[in-house]
Structure 1
Amino acid sequence: MANNHVYIISGEQGEGKTTRLKEIVNLLQQAGVKVGGFIAEGTWKEGIRNSFSLLRIGDRSVFPLCQTEPEEGYIRLKRFWFNPKVIERGEEIIKTCLVEKTDVIVLDEIGIFELEGNVWHDAFLQLLETDNIHILISVRNSIKNSVIQTFKLKNYQIYPVADKPELVVKDIKKIWRKTGN
């Protein structure tokens, strides 16, 4: 693995990991840090998560990633049906971040699907194989150790979702500057 830095926002399902990521992204951007990647915003129906949309950081374009209702041409993974074109779009977003030398790249989230080799698995591996980049991800508490072990993370920091976003941003900026950025 290359010399990179991974910042993990950890929490339970529905605890606010995505909200915390958005706050961190906003603070980093206000500080002049070039942030790219994407956030997966979920919707709820009768107390159950029923879809996710991909929100591209930067231009804030939104793409329907997955849903619980079957859709022709979509890929079924557990209870969700994924739009393969949006998965490709997410991978393109990550590649663009690498070409444009984005300071901090966000992937929301690295979870069970990625541990099984699906959805953002390949994009995350591509980032991990790139030297001197900073990756901000969200991970559920119950699988964070599996993510660390499976992807052989070396330089990582874990921040519980309850941590203040200013603390996370301070750490990211400190490490980012130490690496010559």
Structure 2
Amino acid sequence: MRETAPVFIITGEQGQCKTTFLYQVLGLMTGLDLRLRGVIAPGHVRDGRRSGFTLVDLATGRQEMLCSTDPSPGCEVHGRFCFRPEGLALGRRALSLQDTEETDLLVIDEVGRFELQGVVWAGQLDRLCTLPHPPMVWTVRRRLLDTVIERWSLEDPVVVDVGAAGVLSTASDVMDAIWEWRETHPVSPISPAPFINRHAAGDLPLMADAASGVGAGTPSIFRRRYTASD
């Protein structure tokens, strides 16, 4: 058993629904008493072009506008996007874990060219990758995949291509990694993450709206409830 758990990288081209795929994977885990941390960033489109992103803290359900193509006072400008201070602060708090062993899964949506330039979540990623961390799921554009892996010295990342991978098999692999992490690290009393709902994530489709009530036909990894006594 290794101290550092796998990093799963959901990848695809721009506009290929990486965040939707991620949301569906997380939806299968709803009701499993997981200590879920991190951020998910559903995008907005205006006139057929990406116009901004909302940021959702998975641990609290709180959301803020992360960035927009519309100028705003006090923003950090990166590329054509203006990053709002409230959104950046929310994300940096969500990714600044005081104790990585208090987390079952850490999600970062997404790691991209701004992080490679040393801004947005770069500082948090630098710290996380020097610690024994729990399983992580990142989303990364395909053209940046090799550069991101090299930049953060990721050893044997699990690459999940949305054009070929299945949501159920991906979620099962992530749950296996979580269970392995739990077997080798003490478990404190759980405060399960609320997980984002449809409204918080811009009405992204959930593959399973009631994962806590999965049936006998569901793989056993999902039928198990991960509790403080496990």
TM over 0.5: yes
Q: Which residue of 2 aligns with 1:95?
A: 96
Indicate whether 1:166 and 2:135 are aligned: no
Q: Whole-Å Cα distance in 2 between the matches of residues 59 and 175 of structure 1? A: 23
User: Does the 8 Å contact 2:11/2:160 carry over to 1?
Assistant: yes
Higher helix share: 1
CA RMSD of aligned residues (A): 1.8
**Per-residue deviation, 1:93:** 1.0
Q: Indicate how the Cα distance of structure 1 residues 61 and 8 shifts in structure 2: closer, same or farther if over 3 A, else same.
A: same
- Cα deviation code 1:123-165 (max 9, x no counterpart): 1122212204111110000110000011110141000113211
Query: Which runs of no fewer than 5 residues in structure 2 stay unpaired?
Result: 185-230
| 1:106-145 map, 5 Å | 106-145=107-146
Asked if residue 41 in structure 1 is aligned to residue 42 in structure 2, the reply is yes
CA distance in 1, matches of 2:69, 2:99: 32
Structure holding more strand per residue? 1
Contact 2:38–2:95 (CA under 8 A) maintained in structure 1: yes
Residue 30 of structure 1: how far off its partner (Å): 3.6
SS of residue paired to 2:150:
helix
Secondary structure at the counterpart of residue 28 of structure 1: coil
| Comparing 99-108 and 45-54, the one that deviates more | 99-108
Out of 96-105 and 7-16, give the one that drifted further: 96-105
Runs (4+) of structure 1 moved beyond 4 Å?
Answer: none
Q: Please list the CA deviations of residues 27-54 of structure 1 after superposition, one character each: whole Å capped at 9, or x if unmatched.
A: 1234443222110111000110001110
Number of aligned residue pairs: give it.
180
Where do 5+ consecutive residues of structure 1 fail to align?
none
C-alpha displacement of 1:56 = 1.4
Structure 1 residue 96, shift from structure 2 partner: 4.5
Q: Specify the code of the residue in structure 2 equivalent to 1:66.
A: C
Q: Are the equivalent residues in 1 in contact too, given 2:100–2:132 (CA < 8 A)?
A: no
- Say which SS state the counterpart of residue 60 (structure 2) adopts: coil
How far off is 1:121 after superposition? 0.7
Give me the whole-angstrom Cα distance separating, in 2, the residues matched to 1:177 and 1:4: 10
Q: What corresponds to 2:28 in structure 1?
A: 27
- Tell me if structure 1 keeps the 8 A contact 2:101–2:134: no
Q: SS of 1:118's equivalent? A: coil
List per-residue Cα deviations over 1:43-99 (Å, max 9, x = no partner): 000110001110111432210100001111101101000013321221111225746
* Rg larger in structure: 2
Could you tell me the TM-score, scaled by structure 2's length? 0.73
SS in structure 2 at match of 1:123: helix
Q: Distance in 1 between matches of 2:88 and 2:170?
A: 28
Query: Percent of aligned pairs with the same residue?
Result: 28
Equivalence for 1:86: 87
